[in-house]
Amino acid sequence: MKTLKGILGYIWAFLAIFIVLATFMGNDYFSEQLASATGVTVSPWFSGGEIVKTVDHGTYKTYMHRPVFDALIGEKREGFVQLNWEPYEGLPPVIQEQIDYNGDSRKDFLITLNTHTGDATLTAQSPTVLSVERSYRLKNGWAVRVILKK
Partner 1 sequence: MKKDTTDTSAIKKRSLFKTLLLCLPMMLLTFMMLSQGSIPTAGERLFALAVTFLFFNLLFFLMVRTGKTDRFRSILFITLAVVFVFSFISNLIAVRGSMALSQAHMIEGETPFCHLVIPMTIIPAAFTKTIIFPGKILGKYSIGGMFVIWIGVSLALGRGLCSWFCFFGGLEDGFSRILKKPIIKNISKKWTYLPYAVLLGIVLMSALTLSPTYCKWLCPFKTVTEYVEITSVQVLIQTIIFVSLFIGLVIVLPILTKRRTQCGLFCPLGALQSVTNKTNVFEVRIDQDKCIQCNKCIKVCPTFSIDEESLGRGSVKASCTKCGKCIDACPQKALFYHVKGTSLNSTFDRYRLLFLYPAFLVLAIITGGFMQDAIVKTIKLITTGTIM
Query: Judged by CB under 8 A, which of 30, 92, 96, 150 binds partner 1?
Result: 30
Are 85 and 113 spatial neighbours (Cβ–Cβ below 8 Å)? yes
> Is 14 a residue that touches partner 1 (CB under 8 A)?
yes
The number of beta carbons lying within 10 Å of the beta carbon of residue 146 is: 23
Find the shortest distance in angstroms from Cβ 115 to partner 1: 14
Query: Judged by CB under 8 A, which of 56, 58, 73, 89 binds partner 1?
Result: 73
Peptide bond preceding 44: is omega within 30 degrees of 0, i.e. cis? no
Strand order in the sheet with 120-124: 94-99, 109-114, 120-124
Give me the long-range contacts of 108-111 (CB less than 8 A, separation at least 24). 109/146, 111/83, 111/144, 111/146
Q: Which listed range, 3-11, 52-60, 109-117, 122-130, lies at the site for partner 1 (CB under 8 A)?
A: 3-11
Choice between 19 and 98, CB closer to partner 1: 19
User: Which residues form the interface with partner 1 (CB under 8 A)?
Assistant: 2, 5-6, 8-10, 12-14, 16-17, 19-25, 27-28, 30-32, 34-35, 38-48, 70-73, 82, 134, 136-139, 143
